[in-house]
Amino acid sequence: MKALTLFEKKVYTVVKSIPVGETRTYAWVARKVGRPRAVRAVGTALRKNPFTLIVPCHRVVRSDGSIGRYALGADLKKRLLEIEYAGRDKRKVKKIR
């Protein structure tokens, strides 16, 4: 596995801090890592994420509110977000099962 860049490490650290059931934008992540204009670079770093079970890149969405891309497919990204959101509201969990 290729070594991570400092930028990628910062992106993954910030994304790990996003709470379950919540989303943040690529622009938000870029601001948090101190590179507010590096929105595309954030997307690139997340696309290369080798830690998908640890770094929840599916919680990062586009600024216009659309789902954006996901290395494992946009449909899976949407489903993961739905499951996490439902987990925050016990009444909705029963509907999903």
pTM (two decimals): 0.85
The count of structural domains within the chain is 1
**3-class DSSP state of 89:** coil
Q: What are phi and psi of 7, to 5 degrees?
A: -60, -45
The verdict on whether 57 is a catalytic residue reads yes
pLDDT tens, residue order, the chain (97 aa): 679 999 999 999 999 999 999 999 999 999 999 999 999 999 999 999 999 889 999 999 999 989 998 988 999 999 999 999 887 765 444 333 3
Q: Is residue 51 part of a domain?
A: yes
User: What is the CATH classification number for the domain harbouring 13?
Assistant: 1.10.10.10
Catalytic position from the list 14, 15, 39, 57: 57
Q: Is residue 1 part of a domain?
A: no
